[in-house]
Amino acid sequence: MLRRRATIVLLTALALTACSAPGSDKKAAGDDSGPIKIALVDAQSGQLSSLGAWELKGAKLAVDEWNAQGGINGRQIQLDVFDDQGDPTVGTNLARKIDSEGYIGMIGTAESAVTIAMAPTLKQAEIPNICSGQSPGLVAVGSEFLFLNGPTSTTYDETLAKYIVDGQGIKNIAMITNNGSYGKGEHDAFLKALKARNVTPLADQVVTTDQKDFSAALTGIRQKNPKVIFLGAEEVESGLIVKQARDLGITATFAGAAPQGTPVFLDTAGAKNAEGTIVSSPYLSNDISEASKKFAAAYLAKYNEAAELHGAKAYDGAQIMLTALKSSNVATGKELADAIRATKYQGLLGGFAYDKTGVGIFATSIGTIKDGKLVAASS
């Protein structure tokens, strides 16, 4: 009996220490010693893992540059990677984990749905997060700790609609989007941009994020004979749609935002099938500026592969986070969030100046795919 009571006492003591552990950890991180802990949360496995891999490469490049120059206030920056598998549920668990383990900032994720799921926990824990999503839903969350490292779908699609409808005078447009967080955002943003121009899409097909066969949707679109088909889906799915569309004899030009400018999209669709695709992107190529050339060279040297948009975005995001950490003398919580908001940064994507919604950049350019490469559109 005595022994059992002793066990209970011991267990209670254990439980108590276990409960108090996260809080005490966090205080330790606020100390002025040891490395500055930043978490990178992205899909490192699953269908969206290519996004996660690019993000990691871009962010790591920025962190390594800072560390090579002696870090911030003499402290090295420690970038730890967490795999969210592109799954919001895994994401919310990770949000609690990075809070309890005392990370003071977070880079990622590339998936709007995951970021939106993580946002409430991060807001409560006061951990600033610079994410790579572009869904307007990110802004709708209304967290002062959530920042985007690029424009939202609204900007992407407004620029795209302006080019296609106003510039080229094309009004026969069909849409095919998926019902995920990204696709839904694209659907609403592009439809809104079309409506503002009094254009009604000939077809508005929605597919699931997991779909593999698009015969029904594409045959429906083919009968409407559009000149341009708007794509609102991630890299691989967009590539499959384009490939199957060409097999079905659809010759229309495709148009889309960030995913349609990536190598994965090109490979999946096949360069010949993707030829002529119109892309709205804040980072068309590695040759647009001196900064991008330098970034691309460093990226190539480090990873032995060509840099692209997502790596560049993550690089910008990480630079902004680190710049804010430096300007605020390694502040945490709300102070760090305010420092990020105050940061004016000339990045690879352009000039960042954050507004209240956490968006820092409001412009994209139009490019087209020519001979398997994304080049600036001549208009």
Partner 1 sequence: MQVFLQTIVGGVSLGAVYALVALGFSLVYRTMGLVNFAHGNVVTVGAYLASTFYLSSKLPFALAMVIAIGVTGAIGLVIERVLRPLENRDFDLMLIGTIGFGIVLDALIIMIWGATGRAVPSPVPSAPIDVFGLRIRTYDLVVLAIAAVATVLLVLFLSRTKRGAAMQAVAMDHEAATAVGIHVGRSNAIAFMIGAGLAALAGGLVGPLLYVSPALGGALGIKGFAAAILGGFGSIPGAIVGGIAIGILDSFAAGHFQGYSELVTFLVFTVIIMIRPTGVFGERTVNRA
Residues at the site binding partner 1, with contacts judged by CB under 8 A: 43-47, 49-50, 52-53, 178-179, 205-208, 210-217, 219-220, 223, 236, 239-240, 244, 247-249, 264, 267-268, 270
Output 6 or 300, the one with its CB closest to partner 1.
300
Output 99 or 235, the one with its CB closest to partner 1.
235
Output 77 or 236, the one with its CB closest to partner 1.
236
| Three-class DSSP labels, 86-125 | CCHHHHHHHHHHHHHCCCCEEECCCCHHHHHHHHHHHHHH
Output 35 or 270, the one with its CB closest to partner 1.
270
Least separation in angstroms between CB 203 and partner 1:
11
Any idea what DSSP says for residue 35?
Answer: P
User: CB atoms < 10 A from the CB of 192, how many?
Assistant: 15
What is the spatial distance between Cα 111 and Cα 129, in angstroms, rounded to a whole number?
A: 13
- Tokens representing residue 270 in the block: 């096949």
Residue whose C-alpha is closest to residue 116's, from 154, 84, 78: 84
* Residues 85 and 46: beta-carbon distance below 8 Å: yes
Residue written as token pair 């900032």: 105
Least separation in angstroms between CB 124 and partner 1:
30
Least separation in angstroms between CB 266 and partner 1:
9
What is the spatial distance between Cα 70 and Cα 251, in angstroms, rounded to a whole number?
A: 54
Least separation in angstroms between CB 223 and partner 1:
7
Output 170 or 218, the one with its CB closest to partner 1.
218
Least separation in angstroms between CB 16 and partner 1:
34
**End-to-end CA, the chain:** 86
Least separation in angstroms between CB 135 and partner 1:
16
Least separation in angstroms between CB 215 and partner 1:
3
Cis status, amide bond into 208, omega within 30 of 0: no
CA–centroid distance for 342 within its chain: 21
Using DSSP's 3-state secondary structure scheme, residue 271 falls into helix
Output 62 or 264, the one with its CB closest to partner 1.
264
Output 178 or 323, the one with its CB closest to partner 1.
178
